Amino acid sequence: MTDPVTRTLAQVAGALPSGGETRDGQTEMARSVARSMAEQRHLVVQAGTGTGKSLAYLVPAALADERIVVATATKALQDQLATKDLPLLAGVIDRDLSFAVLKGRSNYLCRQRVVEMGGRGEQLTLPSGPADPPDADDHLPTSDNDDPADLGTLGAQVRRLLEWAEVTAVGDRAELDFEPHFRAWATVSTSARECPGAYRCPSGRECFAEEARDRAAEADVVVVNTHLYGAHLASGGAVLPPHRVVIFDEAHEVEDVMTDSLGVEIGPGRFRALAASARPLVDTGSSSAFDAVDAVAEVADTLHRVLRPLAGQRVLAGTMGGRTGHTDEEAAPDRATPDDEPLGLELGLDEPRPPTRAARAPKKHSRTVTADPGLADVLALATGRVSRLMDGLRQAAREAGEDESSATRSRRDRVLLAAGHLAGDLARLTALSDDEVAWVDSGARSSSLRVSPIDVGPLLAERLWSMVTGILTSATVPIGLAERLGLPDGETDTLDVGSPFDYREHAMLYVAQSLPDRRRPESEPALHDELEALINAAGGRTLALFTSWRAMHAATEALGRRLDFPLLSQSDLPKPALVEAFSRDERACLFATLGFWQGVDIPGRTLSLVAIDRIPFPRPDDPVLQARRDRAGAGAFGSVDLPRAGTLLAQGAGRLIRSAQDRGVVAVLDSRLATARYRGALLARVPPMKRSVDRSEVEAFLRRITADG
């Protein structure tokens, strides 16, 4: 007799529209997931494309007699689980299966904000000046048009949101038929940093966010995004309902998401938003309270001026030691790679000539930031002014007494909570530990100050793995992921179930060994010639992935005049529209950057060639990676940069074969993949395709497969 997991998988496969069968890898994975849940052992599973990994973990989750949380890194997978996989499973298994999708609080309409805006006939107002985008833990998208001067458009959007508020049943932003500017959405929503909770809010009994949390608390399977799970950990476990098992799909994203979620970000917009929210509460109060609001608003401008020249640099690092940054003109850290080249060259920095003996010598950094007095002074000033504002708001509340309306009290509670969170984040910035890194992140219009843990492993070991069993899975599990995430050695199992696709028969990996070194300026025209020849052989049908916007634009400009095929660029349309347009036209080519290296699923003859312009090493000036390199010392290239490059290369190559019928070529236009000493570590991450460095062989293969059928 088969076990319940295997039997249920077979039932689910039979219920699929295609009437499919279970795959060996899928069954092996599902049994391993069930065993890990039962034995409370952590599990890391690499499941190649086509395995059916979502059902392989959902089936044992559905059969478990406990609540399971599933965290995904992309909205597309979240939607697939909630609208396809879980409903299918619920219709097959022999027990009632309830599931819910839970999002960050800012994703839901706030009834109290709507009451305060429109319920009393108040004039519509919007905060002035640019504001910071939404919190990462709420993971809200932002619209393409972030122009703060377009108040007419913003006002029209808010009015549309108020009309929607009259008819919506769940208040989920995803219901909207348009993408509001984040400033418009902020007027009808509230963040976790502001919400006083259902018991202290006049509209708490009708709160959409609380209703979503109630549904999650009753569900067998709760689907969230990884950012929200990070917020749950950062809050000490206050966001999600109790659970003993968490499944992280797209596990290759977990380290970066947790690095962001367990950190702090402070930008000028937080001070502007705080001042704008507080001003109506002190308009009729004392002059000192009004002055406190102005003082907080002034901090925003001061912080903006101080941060702007520090963009991209590590700051407040007096106790951390080591290098903190370099300009674009400087060499990257002088750490030898396996080819004895400076790390800056190996990571893909453009260089005017090959490395010389002088280039291999240690170089001085012309600018190093260990602690900036101006920034430290601004932080101290900000701390005092936020504290003063909180005192003023409390004094205004005491003066109002019983005459204060419930709506005003709710507003004041939100402002005080936001101010308290800001004060706490400021305190963290002024007391950095040796395990944290602070830097200035440059945005489109404004810079922000960020703090992140250098290593998330110790934090996750303490806050997560000691209390919850983790199942982590991805088509490309990075090398050393379990160690970097702090999973305990003796309590963690690993599994690689491969892929059911016949890569050796259906796909070819081509490395352009004859191309000039990609770090030489003359390599770009040669790359364009190579790409043109491959596209012509494929008859269009090409997704070309670039490691920079500059390289993508250069290729688009050069080849747009030379190709006889429709050429789409990432600059032309939003991502969903681009993918749809590319999928519709079998002859089309799509040129894109890092946002398309993963999460793009285009099976069929539309995609026969994936071209990658260079090995995707991470930027040498990323502040968190700089700090990790400093800690790793001489082994930094192998432990920090090479695993990331291998994972992203595998993700890009994984865009090609998406079904058992797909055939095509992955072309890496970087000769280092054929010549560098570390090439084996990178090639091991790519699916086991037939390999070639002969372009004529590749062109013949492309013409043959695109002529068939």
pLDDT(354) > 50: no
Residue 25 has which token pair? 């890898």
**pLDDT score at 137:** 44
Q: Is residue 40 part of a domain?
A: yes
Residue 250 has which token pair? 């797209």
**pLDDT score at 652:** 93
Same domain, yes or no: 514 and 647: yes
Question: Average pLDDT in the 29-57 region?
Answer: 95
**pLDDT score at 350:** 32
Q: Is residue 696 part of a domain?
A: yes
Alpha carbon dihedral 233, 235, 239, 244, in 10-degree steps, equals 40
**pLDDT score at 147:** 44
**Which amino acid belongs to residue 706?**
T
Question: Average pLDDT in the 107-125 region?
Answer: 71
Range of the domain at 624: 503-707
* pLDDT tier at 195, thresholds 50, 70, 90: confident
Q: Which residues of 121-155 are buried (b: 16+ CB within 10 A; e: fewer)?
A: eeeeebbebbbbbbbbbbbbeebeebeeeeeeebe
Helix segments in 40-180, DSSP class H:
53-63, 75-80, 86-90, 111-114, 151-165
Place of tokens 């960020």: 450
**pLDDT score at 283:** 67
Same domain, yes or no: 15 and 139: no
Q: Is residue 477 part of a domain?
A: yes
* pLDDT tier at 50, thresholds 50, 70, 90: confident
**pLDDT score at 127:** 47
**pLDDT score at 339:** 39
* pLDDT tier at 605, thresholds 50, 70, 90: confident
Q: CA 372 to CA 308: how far, in whole Å? A: 13
Domain boundary among 452, 482, 516: 452
Apex 567 CA angle, 562 and 570, nearest 5: 130
Question: Average pLDDT in the 546-558 region?
Answer: 95
Question: Average pLDDT in the 101-111 region?
Answer: 93
| Residue 101 and residue 223 in contact, taking contact as beta carbons nearer than 8 Å | yes
Apex 211 CA angle, 205 and 214, nearest 5: 115
Number of H helices, E strands in the chain: 28, 18
CATH number at residue 86: 3.40.50.300
Same domain, yes or no: 130 and 229: no
Residue 110 has which token pair? 């706030």
Q: Is residue 329 part of a domain?
A: no
Question: Average pLDDT in the 514-532 region?
Answer: 90
**pLDDT score at 340:** 33
**pLDDT score at 704:** 92
Q: CA 471 to CA 37: how far, in whole Å? A: 8
pLDDT(496) > 80: yes
Comparing 373 with 14, which gets the higher pLDDT? 14
Q: Which helix (H) or strand (E) holds 625?
A: helix 623-632
Place of tokens 């406190």: 292
CA of residue 44 relative to chain centroid, distance: 20
Residue 115, CA distances (Å) to 157, 187, 409, 625 in order: 17, 11, 13, 46
Q: CB-based contacts of 550: which residues, under 8 Å, 6+ apart?
A: none
Q: What does the pLDDT look like over 145-182, one tens digit per residue?
A: 344 435 668 888 999 999 999 999 999 998 898 888 88
pLDDT(693) > 50: yes
Please, how many CA atoms are within 13 Å of residue 345, restricted to the half-sphere of its CB?
Answer: 23
Alpha carbon dihedral 325, 481, 519, 694, in 10-degree steps, equals 180
Same domain, yes or no: 304 and 422: yes
Q: CB-based contacts of 284: which residues, under 8 Å, 6+ apart?
A: none
pLDDT(138) > 80: no
Q: CA 498 to CA 657: how far, in whole Å? A: 14
Comparing 367 with 156, which gets the higher pLDDT? 156
| Residue 323 and residue 626 in contact, taking contact as beta carbons nearer than 8 Å | yes
Same domain, yes or no: 13 and 158: no
Q: Which helix (H) or strand (E) holds 356?
A: none
Question: Average pLDDT in the 191-217 region?
Answer: 89
Q: CA 326 to CA 141: how far, in whole Å? A: 31
pLDDT(559) > 80: yes
What is the β-pairing status of strands 664-668 and 99-101? unpaired
Question: Average pLDDT in the 477-482 region?
Answer: 93
Mean pLDDT (the chain) is 84
Same domain, yes or no: 659 and 570: yes
Q: CA 89 to CA 98: how far, in whole Å? A: 10
Place of tokens 């919007």: 126
Residue 315, CA distances (Å) to 312, 330, 375, 480, 629 in order: 9, 18, 9, 29, 17
* pLDDT tier at 193, thresholds 50, 70, 90: confident
pLDDT(291) > 60: yes
| Residue 8 and residue 63 in contact, taking contact as beta carbons nearer than 8 Å | yes
pLDDT(357) > 70: no
* pLDDT tier at 197, thresholds 50, 70, 90: confident
Q: Is residue 49 part of a domain?
A: yes
**pLDDT score at 664:** 95
Same domain, yes or no: 194 and 224: no
Q: CA 588 to CA 559: how far, in whole Å? A: 13
Q: Is residue 520 part of a domain?
A: yes
**pLDDT score at 325:** 34
Q: CA 289 to CA 284: how far, in whole Å? A: 10
Beta bridge partners of 690: 508
Same domain, yes or no: 528 and 649: yes
Q: Is residue 355 part of a domain?
A: no
Residue 178 has which token pair? 């348009």
Q: CA 148 to CA 133: how far, in whole Å? A: 12
Q: CA 447 to CA 266: how far, in whole Å? A: 9
Q: Is residue 334 part of a domain?
A: no
pLDDT(342) > 50: no
Apex 597 CA angle, 596 and 600, nearest 5: 60
Angle between helix 287-307 and 268-282 (nearest 10): 170
Alpha carbon dihedral 647, 652, 654, 657, in 10-degree steps, equals -160
Number of compact structural domains in the chain: 4
Question: Average pLDDT in the 360-380 region?
Answer: 56
Comparing 667 with 147, which gets the higher pLDDT? 667
Residue 194 has which token pair? 């502001």
Which of 142-156, 164-178, 359-373, 664-678 has maximum average pLDDT? 664-678
Same domain, yes or no: 579 and 647: yes
What string of DSSP letters covers 459-478?
HHIIIIITTSEEEEEESSPP
Same domain, yes or no: 291 and 406: yes
Residue 295 has which token pair? 């003082």
Residue 482 has which token pair? 């379990």
Lowest mean pLDDT among 8-22, 195-209, 518-532, 677-691: 8-22
Same domain, yes or no: 78 and 146: no
Residue 215, CA distances (Å) to 70, 138, 219, 560, 606 in order: 15, 18, 6, 51, 41
Which of 124-128, 399-403, 442-446, 548-552 has maximum average pLDDT? 548-552
Question: Average pLDDT in the 107-134 region?
Answer: 63
Same domain, yes or no: 511 and 566: yes
Lowest mean pLDDT among 65-79, 121-135, 198-212, 605-619: 121-135
Domain boundary among 444, 470, 498: 498
Sign of CA dihedral 169, 170, 175, 181: positive
**pLDDT score at 372:** 52
Conformation bin of residue 540: beta by default, left when phi > 0, alpha when psi is -120 to 50: left
Question: Average pLDDT in the 393-421 region?
Answer: 83
What are the DSSP E strand ranges found in 531-632? 542-545, 567-569, 589-592, 609-612
| Residue 342 and residue 334 in contact, taking contact as beta carbons nearer than 8 Å | yes
Q: What is the pTM of this model?
A: 0.85
Residue 98, CA distances (Å) to 13, 67, 288 in order: 20, 10, 54
Conformation bin of residue 607: beta by default, left when phi > 0, alpha when psi is -120 to 50: beta
Question: Average pLDDT in the 117-122 region?
Answer: 51
